Amino acid sequence: MDRADYLQKMYSIVDTEDFKKISRDPTTTIQNKTNKIISTLVNQNILSKEAARSMKSYNSVSPRMYGNPKIHKENIPMRPIVSDVQGPTCKFSNYIAQILTEAYDQDNAYYVKDSFDFSSKINNFELPPDYVVISLDVVNLFGNISKELVLRAMEFHWNKIEAVCNISKEYFKEIITFLLESGYFMFDGSFYLQMFGCIMGSRLSPILSLYVMDYVLDSCIPRLTFTLAFIKKYVDDLIISLPSTGTEEILQVFNSFDPKLKFTIETEDCYNSVPFLDTKVCRVDNKVKLNWYRKTTSAGKFIHFLSDHPMSIKLNFIKEQKNRIYKICDPTFRDGSMKRLFDLLVENAYPKTMLKKLLYSTSMLPSTESQTQPDMVGETEVVKYRSIPNIPYLTYKIKNCFKDYNKKVKIVAQCKKKVANLYSKLKDPIPKEIKSNVVYELECTDCHETYVGQTSQWLRNRMNLHKSDIRTNNLRCALSVHANKYSHSVDFNNVKILDVNVNYKKRCILEMIHIQTQKSKINKKTDTQRLSPIYAYLIEFSNRPFFDGPVDG
């Protein structure tokens, strides 16, 4: 799919009544409103000042929309996703989502956490005579949830929410309304406001959808004229067992609940089975038996044996796939599933001898009992995780240096070759001037010496502070001292971003490392005093000319 085709499909989404093009960037306005709500919660003694400080934002960036292709559907439509990692409501939405997640009843009759949870509840379930299995799926659930439906669901479940929340019901509903109405984004250089539905990509949308779906089920099931053997839900997917004569009725009841929510139905195939998650729900002699399932559109691509990953990851991947089959599948389907897994792994270049040993050896059968950690006596030590690049023949040696500290420090090998590097960037780029948490470099236009700094602010704001320091001859700033002492000018228009890191301490270390690498620097010597001598030696060593033996004449 080329860029023009991609944009055409995305514009077919944003140029609908569900979205409205707006003339300006509302980031600052929404940021100020969000901060005001957080301050109100502090004044009501609901939030501490420390928590509020971590939630407020002052350097927000407009969320960006991009599309993921639905390759399993005809004409490959796009799934619109909004990335709001630096959005003005991001942190506050996460706080509200945490409240709703804590209040959510995972022990309700519908909820399924994952395939393993589903298997433990359904495998060998006894069905009444003449009962069949169907699946229902909501068409574009997030995009078709109205604000009114969300508020009704909050009202319906308020007794659970108020148990973990000190916010009054009316103000909580005001907050939900504000967050839903603040769903905006940038796409292809223009700003849009989502007029209807929940934004896919928001931290709040998944948990809101759980409450809404539970509300729909609690409202619709009593209207049925028959009893369901079971009904289980994973987000917008429903798996249901009901009388064979009830399929038309259940579809009519669910589709009449809300004008925007539309359900599609999938009935049993010729093998009396229906897919759900990565399982095939099979009806065998009035019993439910699960099989491992992969969609026909699945490319069968796993971690390739020749990929740049540590061998331990590849071995653990095989073991976990085997463990998955043993946990999900009924014993009658295990052999067939293991054969399919074996073939898929062979296609991904795994040696057959390795696979036979790991998949079929009786000594490596996964335990069916849950693994529990032994009780810790005394104080529990906090384990710290650190990552290092995966370099063949070197990384495992470095990890071995820490084997005596395994209880305190875990070293994880990190692959630097990522799938994201293979594809073009679909999101609108963030302009350099409003990037934050950066290490930057400025150059003197007269002597070409350089200055390195770091900031958590927008880069534009930091440059304005530097200009102000130079005007007022601020002696604490080395850049200001240099500009005023020699009457030199600084090239603010061509500021360079050297590194990006949201962690303040890591950013400071990166700043000192970059200062050390400058040949002619404006920074003070005190700017690098906290840099470990180990770093200083490595930087100096890396700058030495590389000589790899004699040069042929």
pLDDT band at 105 (very low <50, low <70, confident <90, very high): very high
Between CA 234 and CA 214 the distance in angstroms is 11
In contact, 186 and 428? CB cutoff 8 Å: yes
Does residue 478 have a pLDDT over 90? yes
pLDDT of residue 540: 66
Three-state SS for 481? helix
Mean pLDDT, residues 207-231 taken together: 96
pLDDT band at 372 (very low <50, low <70, confident <90, very high): very low
pLDDT of residue 374: 43
Question: 64 — phi, psi (to 5°)?
Answer: -115, 135
- Over the stretch 247-284, which tens digit does the pLDDT of each residue have? 999 999 999 999 999 999 999 999 999 999 999 999 99
- Over the stretch 440-476, which tens digit does the pLDDT of each residue have? 999 999 999 999 999 999 999 999 999 999 999 998 8
- Over the stretch 126-140, which tens digit does the pLDDT of each residue have? 999 999 999 999 999
pLDDT of residue 349: 95
Find, among 437, 435, 445, the residue nearest to 486 by Cα.
Answer: 445
pTM score: 0.85
Residue 444 is given by DSSP the state: B
pLDDT band at 364 (very low <50, low <70, confident <90, very high): low
Between CA 213 and CA 67 the distance in angstroms is 25
In contact, 178 and 61? CB cutoff 8 Å: no
Residue reference for tokens 């839903």 = 180
Domain ranges of the chain: 3-273, 311-364, 384-419, 432-542
**Helix and strand numbers, DSSP H then E, in the chain:** 18, 17
Mean pLDDT lowest among 18-22, 488-492, 525-529: 525-529
